[in-house]
């Protein structure tokens, strides 16, 4: 079957994705800070380069798909700048390093993890989004620190969604046979949203998000969507940002289309 690299493989959505893709017969190479085949810190450019090189080596030069789940949430104890460096630059830098190897597969897939906070959270700081998209990492991190983690989170994820839409349609990506898409989950029950290290009041506040479906998502539900996006069944999708949020985006932005 396919050689697939998954970042953030040790927890939550990444771990569920690894399990599902392995059960379907794929060779899956995990990347995370600990507890996976490749241990790397994707907040640094050295970490991204080393992780990509190790993944290509483990796949004997040909990767069929890359799934980037590694991320830090807005309720973590990390600074806004750290969120920007992991969520945006950790994904973009890693995927750019892997692109030549994905292109060698002729038909390949890449999935980035955006978030429904991009369309539901008010006052996203555009200056952070712009610095990310311009590749000004040091400045984006500084701005992320300045605005704080709660606004920096949707900014990093909005920049990622826009990067996917801009890049997916270029000769480098679709022209090289790589279908690049993003998933935008709503609240999913993982250590990011219900970990014991979170501020309990902020963690409770997450449930004020209206979810017409009536419950949080489960990591396996996002993994199923990722499996679809890394398969031939998704043959017409490129540059799509797929919301999987129990209806929150549709409810809050009904006619904003």
108 binds ligand NAI (CB under 6 A): no
115 binds ligand NAI (CB under 6 A): yes
Of 156, 70, 56, the C-alpha closest to 111 is 70
Specify the stretch interacting with ligand NAI by CB under 6 A; choose among 10-18, 173-181, 196-204, 233-241: 10-18
Helix 137-147 and helix 149-168, axial crossing angle in degrees, nearest 10? 140
Specify the stretch interacting with ligand NAI by CB under 6 A; choose among 22-30, 69-77, 126-134, 167-175: 69-77
**Neighbouring residues of 52: CB distance < 8 A, sequence distance ≥ 6:** 94, 97, 98, 101
Please give the distance of CA 164 from its chain centroid, rounded to a whole number: 10
Min dist. Cβ of residue 117 to ligand NAI (A): 7
What is the gyration radius of the CA atoms in the chain, in angstroms? 17
User: What residues numbered 228-247 form the site for ligand NAI, per CB under 6 A?
Assistant: none
**Neighbouring residues of 111: CB distance < 8 A, sequence distance ≥ 6:** 65, 66, 67, 68, 180, 181, 182, 183, 226, 229, 230
x/- map, 120-159, ligand NAI, by CB under 6 A: ----------------------------------------
Helix 137-147 and helix 126-133, axial crossing angle in degrees, nearest 10? 160
Q: Which of 89, 94, 153, 209 is catalytic?
A: 153
Q: Is residue 88 annotated as part of the catalytic site, yes or no?
A: no
Specify the stretch interacting with ligand NAI by CB under 6 A; choose among 22-30, 118-126, 141-149, 180-188: 180-188
Min dist. Cβ of residue 93 to ligand NAI (A): 11
The number of C-alpha atoms within 13 Å of 249 and in the hemisphere containing its C-beta is: 15
Answer for which of 22, 33, 176, 218 binds ligand NAI (CB under 6 A) is: 33
Note whether 15 and 9 are within 8 A (CB): yes
**Residues assigned a catalytic role:** 153
Contacts with ligand NAI by CB under 6 A lie at 8, 10-14, 32-33, 41-43, 69-73, 86-87, 90, 113, 115, 185, 187-188, 190-193
């Amino acid at each position: 079957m396919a050689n697939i690299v998954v970042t953030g493989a040790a927890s939550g959505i990444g771990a569920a994705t690894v399990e599902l893709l392995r059960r379907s017969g794929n060779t899956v190479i995990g990347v995370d800070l600990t507890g996976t085949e490749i241990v790397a810190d994707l907040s640094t450019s050295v970490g991204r380069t080393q992780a990509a090189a190790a993944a290509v080596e483990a796949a004997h030069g040909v990767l069929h798909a890359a799934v980037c789940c590694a991320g830090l949430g807005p309720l973590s104890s990390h600074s806004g700048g750290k969120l920007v460096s992991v969520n945006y630059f950790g994904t973009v830098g890693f995927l750019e390093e892997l692109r030549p190897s994905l292109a060698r597969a002729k038909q390949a897939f890449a999935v980035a993890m955006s978030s429904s906070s991009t369309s539901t959270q008010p006052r996203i700081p555009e200056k952070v989004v712009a610095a990310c998209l311009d590749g000004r990492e040091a400045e984006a991190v500084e701005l992320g620190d300045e605005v704080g983690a709660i606004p920096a989170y949707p900014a990093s994820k909005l920049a990622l969604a826009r990067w996917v839409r801009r890049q997916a349609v270029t000769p480098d990506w679709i022209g090289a046979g790589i279908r690049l898409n993003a998933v935008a989950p709503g609240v999913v029950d993982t250590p990011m949203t219900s970990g014991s290290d979170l501020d309990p009041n902020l963690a409770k506040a997450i449930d004020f998000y209206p979810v017409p479906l009536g419950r949080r998502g489960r990591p396996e539900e996002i993994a199923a969507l990722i499996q679809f996006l890394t398969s031939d069944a998704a043959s017409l999708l490129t540059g799509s940002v797929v919301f999987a949020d129990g209806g929150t985006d549709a409810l809050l932005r009904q006619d904003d289309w």
